[in-house]
Amino acid sequence: MTDGIELLRANRDRLVELIDRFAQATVLVVGDLTLDEFLNGEVERVSREAPVLILRHEETQQIPGGGANAVYNFAQLGAKVKAVGLLGKDIQGEALARLFSAAEIDTDGIFWDVDRPTVTKTRISGHSRQSVMQQIVRVDRKSNELPALELQQQLAAYIRDQIDQVDAVVCSDYGDGTLTQPVIEAALEHPRTIVDSQKQIPRYQDAMIFTPNLPEAELAVGYAIENAESLSRAGRDLLRLTHAQYILITRGEQGMALFDRLGNEQHVPAFNRTKVFDVTGAGDTVVAALTLGLIADATVWEAVVLGNLAASIVVRRFGTTTTTAAEMKAELEKMIERSELSAVPNR
């Protein structure tokens, strides 16, 4: 923790300057658009019809998830965002479209898929009068079929039409079928393409940066990353597999490791190791802050530090959440202030 705070203190003014430029960016995000739905209630009794709980409904919350969370992260950080993806002709798709509209996200690149449902993850949770809420079951709606070729071509055509008008392209691939080869090829035409893909990373040849977490990196290289030696080997192998300029492996409480084609390997420690409640969606936050840092003329290393700072905020919250530029600056100051106070000896 101390090393991380020293890093932030030494670069405070520069980081604030970069964060202040986030609002000047325009980003195109291609992703598997998902609706995260949370249905909560109080457990009344066990049903007489079957050995199942009966919940009295209290609230339903709907928020962007999957690739939609990636889109939402950029909007919350102040950037102009063009969302590209598919929604089903259903109430879940309409709900996600409303959430984007309320956040002033450009949805011209979202197409309606009449053959497949909006990817939706409904988490049903319950509590008794004297207990905390806990998840009981999750219901997923999705199709295993790829979108129609006509839709794939429409997505690719829209990306190519917009590519000269945006500062970066982000591919947020959750494996739900939006990022087919025609779509990927169009996205890779931008010189600043950032890839966050759960599977089949080598499909994205020659992207600027890949940001796999540890399990995703292990899946791509085919072996466990257990120590410094295997981590370095994985970084080199991923560069070879993807022909990327940079590989950033995110490692949770162990921080992040950045690799480049020149053989350099840099490590950024985690800024928050003790108050981690939920890492859901943290990778999307890393990608958003990193990308906006690059657009603001940060070095890749500075952009990684910004991504790490943003992630240190969202992991302290439950569920899929985002942060803002103002919160990032406030958290930067709080971390530095706390470290300075702790360094003062007791009298």
Q: Catalytic one among 36, 106, 113, 284?
A: 284
CA-CA-CA-CA dihedral for 277, 279, 284, 287, to nearest 10:
90
| Residue 167 C-beta-side C-alpha neighbours within 13 Å | 20
CA distance 172 to 194: 9
Distances from the Cα of 298 to the Cα of 163, 189, 268, 294, angstroms: 21, 22, 15, 5
CA distance 195 to 247: 10
31 token code pair: 């992703």
Cβ neighbours of residue 202 closer than 8 Å, sequence gap 6 or more: 220, 241, 242
3-state secondary structure string, 18-76?
Answer: HHHCHHHCEEEEEECEEEEEEEEEEEEEECCCCCCEEEEEEEEEEEEEEHHHHHHHHHH
| Residue 274 C-beta-side C-alpha neighbours within 13 Å | 3
Which backbone phi and psi does 3 adopt, to 5 degrees?
Answer: -60, -40
| Residue 284 is among the residues annotated as catalytic for this protein | yes
CA distance 319 to 89: 26
What three-state secondary structure class fits 112? strand
Contact yes or no for 97/83 (Cβ under 8 A): no
CA distance 2 to 46: 51
CA distance 198 to 160: 24
List active site positions. Answer: 284
